[in-house]
Amino acid sequence: MKKFFQEFKAFATKGNILDLAVAFMLTTAFGQITQSFVKDVIMPPIGLLLGKVDFANLYINLTSTKYPTLAAAKEAGAAVISYGAFINTVINFIIVALVLFLIVKAVNKAAAKKEAAPAAPTTKECPYCFTNIPIKATRCPNCTSPLGG
């Protein structure tokens, strides 16, 4: 049992788990920012263009009782389908997916540029016999000619 806890401690204190925790926290914060952006910036102009519609309050009442707002229906415990909230969530998802796509695309492009950099040469050509020899060679192993330093 002691070995198990030692292995778990080693796992939990590795950089990977800490990186994962930081990424999770940043993702949560980014999700809240995106949710606010959709709810407070994107949807009001769209609702205004569509006749002053507040998407957050769009719902289908599944009961026979009438309610003035979604909040009133939920407070009364009525069965409702909140399709306006679903629309907001879909737009939120599309924005997050778009941002993640752009980030991955930028990272892949940077990685491709890094891979495309030419590697330093490891061989050179002997000026006497024209065979490839190690770059650090001071004498050609083929023709035994001394090479300039």
Whether 117 shows a pLDDT value over 70: the answer reads: no
Q: Are 102 and 112 in contact (CB under 8 A)?
A: no
Identify the weakest region by mean pLDDT among 13-22, 29-38, 49-58, 91-100: 13-22
Domains and CATH numbers, the chain: 2-117 (1.10.1200.120), 119-149 (no CATH)
Place of tokens 């939120």: 92
Instruction: Give the mean pLDDT of the chain.
Output: 83
Query: To the nearest whole percent, how much of the chain has pLDDT over 90?
Result: 1
Query: Which band of pLDDT confidence, cut at 50, 70 and 90, is reported for residue 116?
Result: low
Give the residue, 5 or 117, on which the prediction is more confident. 5
DSSP 121: P
Torsion of CA 85, 89, 91, 94, to 10 degrees: -170
> What's the average model confidence in pLDDT over 119-130?
88
Query: Which band of pLDDT confidence, cut at 50, 70 and 90, is reported for residue 35?
Result: confident
Query: Which band of pLDDT confidence, cut at 50, 70 and 90, is reported for residue 24?
Result: confident
Confidence (pLDDT) at 83: 87
Identify the weakest region by mean pLDDT among 12-16, 26-30, 34-38, 62-66: 12-16
Q: Are 126 and 145 in contact (CB under 8 A)?
A: yes
Widest CA span in the chain: 102
Confidence (pLDDT) at 149: 58
pTM: 0.54
